[in-house]
Amino acid sequence: MGQTKLVVRIAGVVSIAGGALCLPVGYGINPKRDLSVFSNLADTGIFVTLGLVLLAVGMLLFLGSWLLPGREPEDLA
């Protein structure tokens, strides 16, 4: 069951990272950021709802992984 905890935690972190990418951060962060179509669309705020949903789902998965029975993943080695 410890492997399931690890998979759920990884899914949570990936979901949080994807949600963070969908949020607008502005044009001054990285000079080459405006070369990406996705970054330009994200900076206009098109993906804010998707980003917030992914952040919420990721946090629920990550925090919910501690409720799963079994050993912690670092104890499996």
Domain range list for the chain: 2-66
Burial grade of 11 (CB within 10 A; 0-12, 13-18, 19 or more): middle
pTM (2 decimals)? 0.79
pLDDT 10s per residue in the chain (77 long)? 568 888 999 999 999 999 998 988 866 667 777 788 888 888 888 999 999 999 999 999 999 988 887 766 565 55
Q: What per-residue confidence (pLDDT) applies to 4?
A: 84
- Per the structure block, which two tokens stand in for 61? 């998965």
What residue type is 37 in one-letter code? V
Instruction: Provide the pLDDT for residue 56.
Output: 97
Sign of CA dihedral 56, 57, 62, 63: positive
